[in-house]
Amino acid sequence: MFGNPSLMTRIAIGKGIGFVFGLTGFILLPYFLPDAGWLLRWGILFWYTTLGAIVGVFGVFTYHPILKLPFPWWFRSTIVGAWMNFVLTFFAYDDMQVMMNAVFGADGALSSPFWFVLEGALVGLLIGYFATRFGGEGAETVGK
């Protein structure tokens, strides 16, 4: 089923895994942040689905286009996941700060919302692994 490298397979796997993480956040968010609104919950669901799609698309690049250095899947997917959650933290900083304070306390070691950047890196790494394992990587995923 997954014999030939395929960009569509990469994107589908990425979106599927991202959807699972997003759905988990959608369901569990009220337990961590009881005041979480529907927009934040839906936003997290769509955000992680989109993150998976972007990690899948970036599987085409195996070399950095400007520096001409190798761009292995584990580096590429980790950087994309971390960057996407860095941007998410900027968009929803206040809500994430309230959630982190509720879970870890205001003076806790993990009270900074920027810990979501590490979470994005790990989620991106997981998505990148499965997308590369079953969808291939490089220019051959685009087809001819």
> What is the four-CA torsion angle of 84, 103, 99, 20, rounded to 10 degrees?
50
Quick one: pLDDT at residue 142? 77
Residue 46 inside a domain? The answer is yes
Residue 1 inside a domain? The answer is no
Residue 84 inside a domain? The answer is yes
**CA pair distance 58, 71, nearest whole angstrom:** 10
More confident residue, 95 or 28: 28
Question: Each residue of 63-113: pLDDT tens digit?
Answer: 877 888 888 999 999 999 999 999 989 988 988 888 888 888 888 788 888
pTM of this structure = 0.88
**Nearest Cα to 1, choosing from 135, 143, 141?**
135
Q: Domain count of the chain?
A: 1
As a whole number, the mean pLDDT across the chain is 88
Residue 2 inside a domain? The answer is no
Domain boundaries, position 40: 7-141
Residue 106 inside a domain? The answer is yes
**Nearest Cα to 127, choosing from 93, 70, 82?**
82
